[in-house]
């Protein structure tokens, strides 16, 4: 039986950052991975998605210049783009595995399962460790409806060798809204069927409605308040979706984008005395489970903060510090969220919805796209809502606009360091740039 100081189950961002720190500090560390090393974000999520989104984003920018300098927009050649995706993304897993082995970390391939409170079994071999970290992430949810075996998930989409002529997305969350934008730009007829009355529920409702309007203008169809009840296949390789409300859609491809569920099945959590529920593994303020020697990190945790790559990385780094002797409970800074739709949505800190119910907080809107058309690639509808507390410090922001993902990171700093107007005015920013213009504008509202 092999013995380690720490074994991580999973090899995504929730695992490998902490594993590296621990190994470099002299600990004997292993990662167990049943799929590709590096996890969802690298292989089947963020990286592949943003690569495939690149040409769609470019075409979106070009559209702003139709009739004022640009005549035709180019077409996406999907098979070429997919070949490029494979060239760039496929080697990343092996690259990370190599980097980890250079650091002295053992990678154990196979499905890990606890057999008791201190033993893990992988491929019939048992391993023990002083501490374990469960970092098994999530997997796509499967709608419990007849015909669900015909539905595709985000991993399938990111492997599509040809773009289907038509796609129906079930759900209007992150994945549907981002992938629908890509699919439409690549020429597919896209419909989004959602059972609530709105898209992207975590974001400012006014701004997410604007994104929906923009997507409708680009030819994407939306149907809200529809619960898909079954999917059947036809003889000519088409699919028919039916909703409980009586609507029918015929399409070439169907995506189930109704959320993700934690990978907690067949992990032996009961044998290990680890408490869990439908939302994931239960942890305390030290990311420790009900078994004091077992921690959990990343998407698999039952948590309220967003399940994102940066939060998984933060938790992994935190656990490494704890295992090296730190004794402080985890303290999350504000977490930015971005929907890579076209246009983009971003938000950080207190939301507009929360601010509307708190008399101490004030919301100001700056239509910066109109004020700086020379700089925003003519994205004239770009806007920001800033939320200030009673001391006139920034506590939250929501942005709609093509450059929202970059701008939001600057605002993370303004919030975390509680910048005053003077703190911003005492700095020199490059010009003409988004932050260089927007930060001084925001400074005018601060104390």
Ligand X SMILES: Cc1cc2nc3c(=O)[nH]c(=O)nc-3n(C[C@H](O)[C@H](O)[C@H](O)COP(=O)(O)OP(=O)(O)OC[C@H]3O[C@@H](n4cnc5c(N)ncnc54)[C@H](O)[C@@H]3O)c2cc1C
Ligand Y SMILES: NC(=O)c1ccc[n+]([C@@H]2O[C@H](COP(=O)([O-])OP(=O)(O)OC[C@H]3O[C@@H](n4cnc5c(N)ncnc54)[C@H](O)[C@@H]3O)[C@@H](O)[C@H]2O)c1
Q: Give me 402's structure tokens.
A: 């093509």
Binding of ligand Y at residue 400 (CB under 6 A)?
A: no
Return the number of the residue (337 or 398) whose C-beta is nearest ligand X.
337
When asked if residue 194 is in the footprint of ligand Y (CB under 6 A), the reply is: yes
211 near ligand Y, rule: CB under 6 A: no
Count of residues that bind ligand Y according to CB under 6 A: 25
- Which long-range CB contacts under 8 A does 308-314 form with residues at least 24 apart? 308/335, 308/337, 309/13, 309/41, 309/45, 309/46, 310/335, 310/336, 311/335, 312/12, 312/13, 312/14, 312/41, 312/135, 312/137, 313/13, 313/14, 313/17
Instruction: Encode 125-135: b = buried (16+ Cβ within 10 Å), e = exposed.
Output: eebebebbbbb
> From the list ligand X, ligand Y, none, which binds 170 (C-beta under 5 to 8 Å, kind-based)?
ligand Y
Contact 10, 134 (CB under 8 A): yes
Q: Please report whether residue 167 would count as binding ligand Y according to CB under 6 A.
A: no
- On whether 364 is known to bind a ligand per the annotation, the reply is no
The tokens of 152 are what?
């595709």
DSSP H or E stretch at residue 279: none
Instruction: Tell me which of ligand Y, ligand X, none is bound by residue 188, counting a contact when its beta carbon lies within the kind-specific cut-off of 5 to 8 angstroms.
Output: none
State phi, psi for 109 to the nearest 5 degrees: -90, 130
- For 285, counting Cβ atoms within 10 Å of its Cβ (0-12 exposed, 13-18 middle, 19+ buried), the class is exposed
For the bound state, the minimum distance from the C-beta of residue 367 to ligand Y, rounded and expressed in Å, comes to: 24
Q: Are 15 and 32 in contact (CB under 8 A)?
A: no
| Residue 338 contacts ligand Y per CB under 6 A | yes
Distance of CA 169 to the CA centre of its chain: 18
257 scored as a contact of ligand Y (CB under 6 A): yes
Q: Of 141 and 282, which has the nearer Cβ to ligand Y?
A: 141
Label the pairing between strands 125-134 and 2-9. parallel
Q: Does 175 bind ligand Y (CB under 6 A)?
A: yes
Q: Is 286 in the site for ligand Y (CB under 6 A)?
A: no
Q: Is 299 annotated as a binding residue?
A: yes
Binding site for ligand X (CB under 6 A): 9-15, 32-35, 39-41, 45-46, 49, 111-112, 135-137, 154, 175, 263, 267, 298-299, 307-310, 312, 340
Residue 170 to residue 141: CA distance in whole angstroms: 11
Tell me the C-alpha distance between 159 and 194, whole Å.
24
Closest separation in Å from C-beta 64 to ligand Y: 22
If one counts every other C-beta atom within 10 angstroms of the C-beta of residue 315, the result is 29
Q: With contacts defined by CB under 6 A, name the span among 21-29, 171-179, 269-277, 422-430 that binds ligand Y.
A: 171-179
- Per the annotation, does 174 bind a ligand? yes
Of the listed pieces 112-120, 191-199, 247-255, 272-280, which binds ligand Y according to CB under 6 A?
A: 191-199
**Is 214 marked as a binding-site residue?**
no
Cα atoms in the Cβ-side hemisphere of radius 13 Å centred on 93: 21
8 closest CA partner among 123, 136, 137: 136
Does residue 308 touch ligand Y according to CB under 6 A?
Answer: yes
Query: Which of 135, 139, 117, 138 is closest to 8 using CA atoms?
Result: 135
Task: Determine if residue 177 is labeled as part of a ligand binding site.
Answer: yes
Cβ at position 256, least distance to ligand Y in Å: 8
Cβ–Cβ < 8 Å for 14, 312: yes
**Would you count residue 242 as binding ligand Y (CB under 6 A)?**
no
307 binds ligand Y (CB under 6 A): yes
Is 178 assigned to a binding site?
yes
**Contacts (Cβ under 8 Å, ≥6 apart) of 264:** 136, 276, 280, 281, 300
Does 399 belong to an annotated binding site?
Answer: no
- Per partner kind, with CB cut-offs from 5 to 8 A, the member of ligand Y, ligand X, none near residue 227 is ligand Y
- Identify the DSSP state of 66: B
- By CB under 6 A, is residue 344 in contact with ligand Y? no
- Give the one residue of 174, 314, 318, 403 binding ligand Y; rule: CB under 6 A: 174
168 touches which of ligand X, ligand Y, none (CB within 5 to 8 A by kind)? Answer: none
- Closest C-alpha among 256, 264, 295 to residue 280: 264
Nearest approach, Cβ of 173 to ligand X (angstroms)? 11
Binding site, by residue number, is 171-178, 194, 259, 299
Binding site for FAD, by residue number, is 299
Binding site for NAD(+), by residue number, is 171-178, 194, 259
Site of interaction with ligand Y (CB under 6 A): 143, 170-176, 178, 193-196, 201, 227-228, 257-260, 307-308, 338-340
């Amino acid at each position: 039986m092999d013995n380690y100081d720490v074994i991580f189950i999973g090899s995504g961002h929730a695992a490998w950052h902490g594993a590296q720190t621990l190994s470099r500090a002299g600990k004997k560390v292993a990662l167990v991975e049943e799929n590709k090393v590096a996890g969802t974000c690298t292989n089947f999520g963020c990286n592949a998605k943003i690569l495939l989104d690149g040409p769609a984003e470019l075409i979106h920018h070009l559209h702003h210049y139709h009739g004022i300098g640009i005549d035709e927009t180019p077409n996406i050649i999907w098979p070429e783009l997919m070949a490029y995706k494979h060239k760039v993304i496929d080697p990343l897993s092996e690259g990370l595995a190599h980097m980890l082995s250079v650091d002295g970390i053992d990678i154990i391939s196979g499905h890990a399962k606890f057999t008791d409170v201190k033993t893990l079994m992988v491929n019939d071999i048992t391993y023990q460790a002083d501490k374990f970290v469960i970092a098994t992430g999530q997997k796509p949810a499967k709608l419990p409806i007849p015909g669900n075996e015909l539905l595709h998930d985000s991993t399938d989409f990111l492997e599509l060798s040809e773009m289907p002529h038509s796609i129906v997305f079930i759900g209007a969350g992150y994945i549907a809204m981002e992938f629908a934008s890509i699919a439409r730009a690549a020429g597919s007829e896209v419909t989004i069927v959602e059972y609530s009355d709105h898209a992207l529920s975590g974001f400012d409702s006014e701004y997410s409605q604007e994104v929906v309007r923009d997507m409708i203008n680009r030819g994407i169809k939306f149907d809200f308040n529809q619960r898909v009840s079954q999917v059947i296949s036809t003889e000519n390789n088409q699919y028919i979706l039916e909703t409980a409300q009586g609507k029918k859609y015929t399409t070439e491809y169907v995506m189930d984008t109704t959320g993700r569920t934690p990978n907690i099945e067949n992990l032996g959590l009961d044998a290990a005395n680890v408490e869990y529920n439908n939302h994931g593994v239960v942890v305390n303020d030290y990311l420790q489970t009900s078994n004091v020697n077992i921690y959990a990190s990343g998407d698999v945790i039952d948590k309220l903060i967003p399940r994102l790559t940066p939060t998984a990385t933060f938790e992994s780094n935190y656990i490494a510090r704890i295992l090296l002797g730190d004794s402080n409970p985890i303290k999350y800074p504000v977490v930015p969220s971005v929907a890579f739709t076209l246009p983009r949505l971003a938000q950080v800190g207190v939301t507009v919805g929360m601010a509307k119910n708190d008399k101490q907080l004030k919301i100001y809107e700056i239509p910066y796209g109109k004020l700086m058309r020379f700089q925003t690639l003519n994205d004239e509808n770009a806007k920001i809502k800033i939320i200030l507390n009673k001391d006139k410090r920034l506590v939250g922001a929501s942005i709609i606009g093509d450059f929202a993902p970059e701008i939001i990171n600057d605002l993370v700093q303004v919030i975390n360091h509680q910048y005053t107007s003077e703190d911003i005015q005492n700095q020199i920013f490059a010009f003409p740039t988004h932050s260089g213009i927007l930060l001084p504008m925001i400074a005018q509202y601060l104390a």
